[in-house]
Structure 1
């Protein structure tokens, strides 16, 4: 019985540490924003010789409670993000914007949407 409890404690410590490590590097808080500018375009050539275009955005984003932060995003794509698109950003304190997805206006929390619309 003591061995079983000891193994259970070790398992819980290891799984808790793994969860903490994953959340530290890949976890983040959700913020919402609306694209209002096309972003600054920059052309370049990759290490394999292929041309690419990156777009740099500096956007005000709001959490579900309406608190704002300024986020910087860089997107590597053929054309800029669509003007007027609502985005849900996953932001890590250490790495910045980890991912984004386009969402409809009805999917944005009310306090965040009020702040986005007031910022026009």
Structure 2
């Protein structure tokens, strides 16, 4: 019986540590922004292929309306759509981890007030 309890204690410690490590490196807080510029275009030609990157430096707001200056990259042929609302996942150590376009109605009220 003690071995079974010991096994489950070790399993819980391992699972908790794994969750903490994942959240530390890949987790983040949701911030919201609106695209207001075309971004800074950079083209790279390596190994015969052309890659285009658009870099955006702008302000983003969390659900409580707190501001954060963010830098994000979009690897695509065209810049992001002007006036588009984005939901960003911002990791305190790595910056913007991911983004997705959302509707204006999906932006929290306090963040929307700051964006407009």
TM-score by length of 1: 0.93
Q: Which residue of 2 aligns with 1:39?
A: 39
- Count of aligned pairs: 116
Q: Secondary structure in 1 aligned to 2:113?
A: helix
Alpha-carbon distance in 2 for matches of 1:69, 1:42 = 24
Q: Which residue of 1 aligns with 2:93?
A: 94
Alpha-carbon distance in 2 for matches of 1:111, 1:5 = 48
How far off is 1:5 after superposition?
1.3
Q: 1:52-91 alignment to 2 at 5 Å?
A: 52-91=51-90
Runs of 4 or more, structure 1, over 4 Å off, are none
How far off is 1:49 after superposition?
2.0
Instruction: In structure 1, list runs of 5 or more residues that go unmatched.
Output: none
Deviations 1:82-115, CA, capped at 9 Å, x for gaps: 0000000001111111100000000011011111
Q: Secondary structure in 2 aligned to 1:38?
A: coil
Instruction: In structure 2, list runs of 5 or more residues that go unmatched.
Output: none
